[in-house]
Amino acid sequence: MAAQVDGAMAIVTVEGLEALLQAIQARGYRAVGPTLENQAIVYDDIESINDLPRGWTDEQDGGRYRLMRRSDDALFGYSVGPQSWKKFLHAPKLRLWTAERHGENTTVTPEASPNDRLAFIGVRACEIRAIEIQDRVLISDLYVDPHYQALRARALIVAVNCGQAGGVCFCASMQAGPRVKQGFDIALTELLDGGEHVFLVEAGSEEGHALLAPIPHRAASDDEIEAAAAVIERTASSMGREMRSDDLNELLMSNLEHPRWDEVATRCLTCANCTLVCPTCFCTSVEDVSDLAGERAERWRRWDSCFTMDFSYIHGGSVRASAKSRYRQWMTHKLATWIDQFGSSGCVGCGRCIAWCPVGIDITEEVRAIRGCDAAAEEPQ
């Protein structure tokens, strides 16, 4: 069970939340969280709760995202947007080293590890699950990404239980939400219906407890604790999408020649958007550049995708030349072979790949289509 403020669930007001945000920054953290930019809710630097998308929500469907006004002043009344916390922990572009020639000698200087202390404000359950999945890939094995490790070790997570499910959400199907269960320093549930706009708070770590203790708060009543549980229950039962997930490894791996792969390939643009918005996709490429005089060279790492031809290029050509083979690679890795490789599904049900696919390809629909006429299951026993 999560630790609690003074041994109990506590209630803080909107002003209390502001005090918490100030305390986090006073402790040396760089606070990043949801904020309005260019008609979307993105993650960027925030200084006060006035930077949060107060009173805004969103409407999402395959290939479509629009902001809308809410009838209340909710601070976290939206579903996950175009970006994930991956943009901070596993940066889109990163210089790995610089080499310089001095006459006959060459010096190579590795990029210093970052020492930012990031406080992520408003992390959803599916996003915590996604960070845990990237932890498994990037820092829990023989090869450790020192940049990710440095940022991750110092990061503070202020989580939020989702007050509503978005049009493309299916975290409940992936057992990744909507309730925040672990991996947070502080967890909030926004309560809007009791006549007063307050937050039920829990501390999930020593750091979270230390931050919360001096913030004005009162003990939560049984009614308030029940109201918070009801909010999460209502979210869980109103998911925009659904995907049966208990048998995906067997289902997909026994249907590698299913005709649906050809069908989805007629729609797939191989543009890579799904992989870049996915909070667990971690693939990168490295690029070496040198200057005109040949005196200085740099190696950069940047996000890459299994949807590019270069990604599977080996001597003589790309292994996965067709759109069919690339879509199948992405989906079977995400939902099936990820389990063999890393011990869990690579999908958290956030729905970003559905909303941000320019032509609205829906992973839950693709699974349903394959399940609908499961070639292997229909074979006579």
- Binders of other proteins in range 278-337 (CB under 8 A): 287-294, 302-303, 305, 307-310, 321, 323
**Please, how many CA atoms are within 13 Å of residue 62, restricted to the half-sphere of its CB?**
10
Q: Does 106 bind other proteins (CB under 8 A)?
A: no
Give least dist CB 161 to other proteins, A: 26
Residue closer to other proteins by CB (options 62, 163) is 62
Q: Tell me the number of residues near other proteins by CB under 8 A.
A: 47
Q: Which residue carries 């669930």 as its tokens?
A: 9
| 95 lies in the binding site for other proteins (CB under 8 A) | no
Strand locations in the chain (E): 10-13, 30-37, 40-45, 56-61, 64-69, 93-102, 105-110, 118-123, 156-161, 186-191, 198-203, 218-219, 284-290, 296-303, 313-314, 317-318
CB of 113 to other proteins, least distance (A): 21
Task: Identify which of 175, 177, 128 has the alpha carbon closest to the alpha carbon of residue 152.
Answer: 128
Residue of 42, 150, 283, 375 interacting with other proteins (CB under 8 A) = 42
- Cα 75 from chain centroid? 19
**Which residues between 130 and 189 bind other proteins (CB under 8 A)?**
none
Instruction: Decide: is 360 part of the binding site for other proteins (CB under 8 A).
Output: yes
Q: Is 358 in the site for other proteins (CB under 8 A)?
A: yes
Query: Considering beta carbons, is residue 114 or 344 the nearer one to other proteins?
Result: 114
- Provide the 3-class DSSP secondary structure of residue 204: coil
Q: Which is nearer to other proteins, 114 or 360 (CB)?
A: 360
> What is the Rg, in whole angstroms, of the alpha carbon atoms belonging to the chain?
23
Answer whether 147's CB lies under 8 Å from 39's CB.
no
Binding-residue pattern over the window 237 to 276 for other proteins, x denoting contact by CB under 8 A:
-----------------------------xxxxxxxx--x
Among the listed residues 55, 80, 52, the one whose alpha carbon sits nearest the alpha carbon of residue 68: 55
CB of 109 to other proteins, least distance (A): 19
Residues 6+ apart with CB under 8 A from 350: 80, 84, 124, 126, 127, 130, 169, 171, 176, 279
b/e 274-301 (16+ beta carbons within 10 angstroms → b): bbbbbbbbbbbeeeeeeeeeeeebbbbb
Q: Which pair of structure tokens corresponds to residue 161?
A: 């239980």
Say what angle helices 146-154 and 125-138 make with each other, to 10 degrees: 140
By rule CB under 8 A, what string of x and - marks binding of each residue 337-356 to other proteins?
A: ------------------xx
Assigned token pair, 55: 């009173």
Q: Which is nearer to other proteins, 266 or 381 (CB)?
A: 266
Q: Are 273 and 65 in contact (CB under 8 A)?
A: no
Choices 36-44, 103-111, 122-130, 138-146; region in contact with other proteins by CB under 8 A = 36-44
Nearer to other proteins among residue 27 and residue 296 (C-beta): 296
Please report whether residue 377 would count as binding other proteins according to CB under 8 A: no
Interface residue with other proteins among 47, 59, 93, 262 (CB under 8 A) is 93
- Name the minimum Å distance from CB 230 to other proteins: 32
Residue 203 CB, shortest distance to other proteins, in Å, is: 32
Between 272 and 347, name the residue whose CB sits nearer to other proteins. 272
Q: Which of 28, 55, 92, 259 binds other proteins (CB under 8 A)?
A: 92
x-or-dash string of contact with other proteins, 204-233, rule CB under 8 A:
------------------------------
Q: What is the DSSP letter of 5?
A: B
Nearest 5°: CA angle at 207, between 202 and 210? 75
Residues that bind other proteins (CB under 8 A): 37-40, 42, 63-66, 82-83, 87, 92-93, 266-273, 276-277, 287-294, 302-303, 305, 307-310, 321, 323, 355-360
